[in-house]
Structure 1
Amino acid sequence: MIQNRFLTGAALVALLGSLGLAPAQAQTDAPAAAPTPEAASGRVMSAVQTIPGMPPVVDPSNIYSEAAAGKVRADVASDPARIYVPNLRSNDVYVIDPATLKVVDRFPVGKSPQHIVPSWDMRTLWATNNAEGTTQGSLTPIDAHTGKPGAPVPVDDPYNMYFTPDGKSAIVVAEARRRLDFRDPHTMELQGSVDAPKCPGINHAGFSIDGRYAIFTCEFGGMMAKVDTVNRKLLGYLKLSKGGMPQDILTAPNGKTFYVADMHADGVFILDGDTFTETGFIPTGVGTHGLYPSRDAKFMYVANRGSHKVHGPRHSKAGSVSVIEFATNQVVKTWPIPGGGSPDMGNVSADGKKLWLSGRFDDVTYAIDTDTGAMTAIPVGAEPHGLTVWPLPGRYSVGHTGITR
């Protein structure tokens, strides 16, 4: 099956080398792997004490340094360039060729697909089908090299999914259960769970620089939940000052500051992750929803869905994208959706030139020029949600729609 493919021999050594992990006693008859980018440039690995097995932090001031434009792994670069769009109400995935902006494939998945999530090793894309209102949830594996789906894996309520930065566990976000299920990242066999009873609508997460904790949003509780990812333990809750509706969360390049999109507060909260305190707020637009870093890690793209409602409306005139500069925490650009729209979830292209977002209530996908804000809307299925862009730069993925490091 797709999710059980493993690398061996020289290929494994090369992959570990690209991650900055030199395997002890590794032997191969093939020529030595090329030095990692940081070694070739003479950069010294940082002293950040990461959890065991996690690839080292190359630049402590920028955890996205290895996910910059041009840093696509060789095995990933050979995958076809595609945009995978899960459609919540039509129960399928549309596949867009980013070069032609045309839909080139379409296939059914499970009920209520929410997100397309790249695996930690970046070889499988998982459609999280949480089968809203039922117990028939599943994960559909998509081969990243062929773009074709495999047999679904039954999993309880997989609204979203993340991976611990050491690659040892997938974290299935069981939103309706107020629970995080730690699973084997290949077979999805259950390893253990963390209950978060005071976190209704638990859904999105950001990881600390060292991988020791993650902060999750509680969409229907106006608060955040902090989780010890090593000991699998709930550390506590933080109530946001405006009591809003937190959606996506993004770890800042420094790995310690966290940004939280809030759909009711119409902006982005700033948190100190280590102390778990709220430190600021940035107004953006109506229905603030998705957060994505630029490939040079200087800016954050903020999708403002244009409404405070969970469902609709179509063609909201308030739909827009804000651009925040990390260095100043200021909005430097705002791009309205022409004719109105509902920008939701997505990612940035490998070269950093396009921001791809689903138009949740308009049944389209937006391709947005990151220099000018010019947009193209591409019709897709019914209620597109957490799309991903492929291939992506980076050594490994921590999940969601492709947050890589």
Structure 2
Amino acid sequence: MHRLSLLLAFSLLPATAQAETIYVTNEKAGTISVIDGATLKVAATWPVGKRPRGLLLSRDGKYLYVCASDANAVQVIDRASGKVIADLPSGEDPEQFALSIDGRTLFAANERDAAVTAIDVPSKSVAFQLVVGVEPEGMATSPDGTTVISTSETDNSIHWIDLATRSDVAVTAVGARPRHAEFTADGKQLWVSAEIGGDISVIDVASRKTIDRITFAPPGVLASSVMPVGVNFTPDGKTALVALGRGNTVAFVDVASRKVTGYVPVGGRVWHLAIGADGRRAFTANGLTNDVSVIDLATRKVVATIAVDKAPWGVVIAD
């Protein structure tokens, strides 16, 4: 009987979410906050280059890549030690980046260069640089690895970069000031947020044409404050979460119908977010309140708020 009680007790414990580690870039502090997923507390704070923004996990999970925008570098951080072990050449003012499917190439958006720099990670050298639209920021790699997307904030467009030819092969108009691009897992659609436009453009990848626009109206929030930035899909691909910037809200969108199904208020100026691999929780970077909101995705409620450093911007989660 005692053994049965123990088994029942263990079965009630939360599962894989407990193993998560959450990393958050703090733009004004020049640091990364390391959050323990089990305790929901900051376990460490790592110094990095000036104005860290975009953040990625290496394919093997051993390293973090961070855009140190004012240091004009992409930095490589050893997760085991928390130390910066390399500065990769990235061009002027890297904002965000995408990673090739094989993990060997980083594609950095250089806002001041109006270019995308492809960085060969093993050799720590520039593979190529390509001029794109003015103020590139958001980057995404297609699931089949053939295409990289760059959002152009000033031109209100996205650029399609063909990796076989290393050329900018098409431009698609989107809403005003596009900030982030995200492919659906099947690679058939591309979702692009427009900060000033206040919407998401849903683009058919085959035709490279916009097939839908998703707008947002969170209760009690001025329309002028609704500024979509970060977009992320749940692991099952059924739901998109959209960070609404100064709207201080995360929107839930049904991917199949492209209808908004709910809103969750979070901290001030939610810029980016990440969803755990088990699909249970989301973590948001709230740049004005200097904290991270933890959303339980089943109940759609904030279950914790974690104080971090100044101006959190990007978030990634590692198992």
Q: TM-score, normalised by structure 2?
A: 0.86
Equivalent pair of 1:208/1:273 in contact (CA under 8 Å):
no
Q: Write the letter of the residue equivalent to 1:294.
A: T
Q: CA deviation at 1:147?
A: 5.0
Query: In the alignment, which residue of structure 2 is the partner of 1:371?
Result: 298
Aligned counterpart in structure 2 of residue 358 of structure 1, from 285, 289, 303:
285
Equivalent pair of 1:292/1:300 in contact (CA under 8 Å):
yes
Q: Give per-residue Cα distances to partners, 1:187-233, cap 9 Å, x unaligned.
A: 4211111111xx12211123334222122211222111111022210
Q: Does 1:214 align with 2:129?
A: no
Equivalent pair of 2:108/2:139 in contact (CA under 8 Å):
no
Q: CA deviation at 1:154?
A: 4.8
Query: In the alignment, which residue of structure 2 is the partner of 1:82?
Result: 21
Equivalent pair of 1:262/1:288 in contact (CA under 8 Å):
yes
Q: Does 1:249 align with 2:176?
A: no
- CA–CA distance in 2 between the matches of 1:363 and 1:232? 39
Equivalent pair of 2:109/2:150 in contact (CA under 8 Å):
no
Gap change, CA 1:214 and 1:151, over 3 Å in 2: closer
Query: In the alignment, which residue of structure 2 is the partner of 1:15?
Result: none
- CA–CA distance in 1 between the matches of 2:265 and 2:20? 27
TM alignment of 1:2-401, pairs within 5 A: 81-131=20-70, 136-144=71-79, 146-155=80-89, 156=91, 157-196=93-132, 199-240=133-174, 243-285=175-217, 286-306=226-246, 318-337=247-266, 341-375=268-302, 376-391=304-319
Q: Secondary structure at the match of 1:255?
A: coil
Q: Give per-residue Cα distances to partners, 1:162-208, cap 9 Å, x unaligned.
A: 12224342212222211111121234211111111xx1221112333
Q: CA deviation at 1:371?
A: 1.2
Q: Secondary structure at the match of 2:94?
A: coil
Equivalent pair of 2:98/2:140 in contact (CA under 8 Å):
no
Give the number of the structure whose residues are more often strand, by fraction.
2
Q: Write the letter of the residue equivalent to 2:264.
A: W
Unaligned runs of 5+ in 2: 1-14, 218-225
Gap change, CA 1:168 and 1:141, over 3 Å in 2: closer
Unaligned runs of 5+ in 1: 1-68, 307-317, 392-405
Equivalent pair of 1:268/1:284 in contact (CA under 8 Å):
no
Q: Secondary structure at the match of 1:386?
A: strand
Gap change, CA 1:154 and 1:227, over 3 Å in 2: closer
Q: CA deviation at 1:273?
A: 1.7
Gap change, CA 1:153 and 1:209, over 3 Å in 2: closer
Runs of 4 or more, structure 1, over 4 Å off, are none
Q: Write the letter of the residue equivalent to 1:370.
A: L
- CA–CA distance in 2 between the matches of 1:221 and 1:120? 32
Equivalent pair of 1:205/1:248 in contact (CA under 8 Å):
yes
Q: Secondary structure at the match of 1:172?
A: strand
Q: Write the letter of the residue equivalent to 1:363.
A: N
CA RMSD of aligned residues (A): 2.1
- Percent identity reads 22
Q: Secondary structure at the match of 1:368?
A: strand
- CA–CA distance in 2 between the matches of 1:148 and 1:81? 16
Q: Secondary structure at the match of 1:159?
A: strand
Gap change, CA 1:206 and 1:161, over 3 Å in 2: closer
Equivalent pair of 1:163/1:185 in contact (CA under 8 Å):
no
Gap change, CA 1:118 and 1:187, over 3 Å in 2: farther
Q: TM-score, normalised by structure 1?
A: 0.68
- CA–CA distance in 2 between the matches of 1:82 and 1:147? 14
Which protein has greater RCO, CA pairs closer than 8 Å, 6+ apart?
Answer: 1
